[in-house]
Amino acid sequence: MITAIKLFFIVIHTAICSVFALLFIFIDRSFTLYHWLSKVFSGGILLISGIKIKIDGLENIDPKAVYVFASNHSSQLDITALQCGIPNRLAMIFKKELAKIPLFGWQLRLGPYIMVDRKSLESAAKSIEEAKELMKKKKISVLVFPEGTRSKTGEVQQFKRGAFHLAAKVGYPIVPVTINGTEKILPKGTFKLKRGTIYLHIDKPIPTEYLKSKQDEVELMEKVRQIIISNKKEY
């Protein structure tokens, strides 16, 4: 019953924030209001859910700088936690199916996010170019999940090279981010939302200007994966 009540208020909160997001998109093309609202939205979700967030490593990044944030992924709560915890203006690459959701999906499509068709190589290539333009023109960082999908066990899966090809293309530093705890609060494949604490560790930015070849990207991919694994902890 408690979970049902939480989900009810989460749906209402999401709908209200989505309406305001659509309004802000049309009146503020700098997306300043939109990004402020994303903090309100994610913070509200965590508050309604009875979830706390603890962050370390904020001193490693400049809140006004542009980065590619690369994080592990094991729960639907990961995006919410990262939106709330990372102070930078943040955009995400989302699958096109989400754009069909009334209000929420509409504002994703019209906002400063990047839609991709996972079944299309052409769409994936286009998303990289869109991310590049977004980062340069709007000074917005991009969040990527190199695993490609959520881990069922919480263990860090093998990475895919796409995120690191993006980093090579845009030339902005890549920041490894480790999430701990979300797989226990809301595991993959369930709607049983529990109280708890999410822990975020933000590592030091890694320059990407030197990336000249596929091998460079693969080496960076493994380096970032090992950093994230080293910061995985049990709480």
Q: Where are the domains of the chain?
A: 51-230
Q: How many whole angstroms separate alpha carbon 168 and alpha carbon 209?
A: 7
Task: Name residues of the chain where pLDDT drops below 50.
Answer: 1
Task: Give the pLDDT of residue 2.
Answer: 53
φ, ψ at 126 (rounded to 5°): -65, -40
Going by CATH, does the domain composed of 51-230 fall within 3.40.1130.10? yes
Task: Give the pLDDT of residue 1.
Answer: 47
pLDDT tens digits, one per residue of 95-141: 888 888 999 999 999 999 888 776 766 766 777 777 778 888 888 99
φ, ψ at 105 (rounded to 5°): -70, -35
Q: How many whole angstroms separate alpha carbon 101 and alpha carbon 211?
A: 38
Nearest to 4 by CA among 148, 192, 178: 192
Task: Give the pLDDT of residue 229.
Answer: 94
Mean pLDDT of the chain: 88
Task: Give the pLDDT of residue 127.
Answer: 75
- Contact between 69 and 57 under an 8 Å Cβ cutoff? The reply is no
3-state DSSP percent of the chain in helix, strand and coil, to 5: 50, 15, 35
- Contact between 58 and 87 under an 8 Å Cβ cutoff? The reply is yes
Residue type, 138: K
The position carrying tokens 């001193």 is 59
- Contact between 198 and 162 under an 8 Å Cβ cutoff? The reply is no
Task: Give the pLDDT of residue 32.
Answer: 93
**Surface-to-core class of residue 193, CB atoms within 10 Å of its CB (0-12 exposed, 13-18 middle, 19+ buried):** buried
Strand partners, 182: none
pLDDT tens digits, one per residue of 29-39: 899 999 999 99
